[in-house]
A and B are shown apart, each in its own frame.
Chain A
Amino acid sequence: DIQMTQSPSSVSASIGDRVTITCRASQGVGTWLTWYQQKSGKAPKLLIYAVSSLQSGVPSRFSGSGSGTDFTLTISNLQPEDFATYYCQQANSFPLTFGGGTKVEIK
């Protein structure tokens, strides 16, 4: 299985901050890298697919980058509704696997 390691596991930030979350795969996943946002008690929401493609309706302050095994989700100008847990997921090979999550908390 491809292991997905996210860091940090949690981050405290203020409104307006720039937040960067890293996801590292144990082997290359090509462009099959997705980011989700999950708020407490809710289903995950698709933010970014194929490394850097923004899902329709997602604010442009979210961006993704990376290649091979190292990927980044950046939230620019953090807004109150962005406090949540973020997961990366690889779809390069079965079984599909998720990172452990990064919780973005209010400082």
Chain B
Amino acid sequence: QVQLQESGPGLVKPSETLSLTCSVSGGSINSFYWTWIRQAPGKGLQWIGYISYTGSTSYNPSLKSRVTISVDTSKNQFSLKLSSVTAADTAVYYCAREGPTVGNAYDFWGQGTMVTVSS
């Protein structure tokens, strides 16, 4: 069973860079597409972007200038960096896998990690 686990600071200061890592276990990261999605408190879901195991990426244009997603296949991890954060970036951040047989849907998710942007 594939498992994903987000890790990183729960508090980030405004204007600084949010950095999160998603560790994948129970399967190799050397396939599929790996995604970051966030959810502001009491709000809906926002797709941030994805990375493939080959390193190709796609980002949400609304965040593109501030987002970097990278993959470390040796550690079976992928990461998110979001620069110049503001209070609007306060959210639960989820990592997820785009499943191979589920039509571009996300079949495995991390539990989510809450990140608060505050001084």
Chain A residues close to B by CB (< 8 Å): 1, 31-32, 34, 36, 42-46, 49-50, 53, 55, 87, 89, 91, 94-101
Contact = CB atoms under 8 A, between A and B. Distances in A.
A3 B106 CA distance: 19
**A-side binding surface: helix, strand, loop or mixed?**
loop
| Chain B interface residue bracket vs A | 20 to 34
Contact of A32 (B58, B104, B109): B104
- Which of B94, B96, B107 has the most chain A CB atoms closer than 10 A to its own CB? B107
Q: Main SS of chain B's interface residues?
A: loop
Interface of B: 44-47, 58-62, 94, 96, 99, 102-107, 109-112
B69 to A, nearest CB: 13
Contacts of B94: 43-44
A98 B44 contact: yes
Given A55-B102, A87-B44, A95-B60, 5 more contacts: A44-B109, A46-B107, A50-B103, A50-B105, A98-B44
Nearest to A47: B105
Contacts of A36: 45, 106
Nearest to B108: A46
A43 B106 CA distance: 11
Contact of B106 (A46, A50, A53, A94): A46
29 contacts: A1-B61, A31-B103, A32-B103, A32-B104, A36-B45, A43-B96, A43-B109, A43-B110, A43-B111, A43-B112, A44-B45, A44-B94, A46-B107, A49-B99, A49-B104, A49-B105, A50-B102, A50-B103, A87-B44, A89-B105, A91-B104, A94-B58, A94-B60, A95-B47, A95-B59, A98-B47, A99-B44, A100-B44, A101-B44
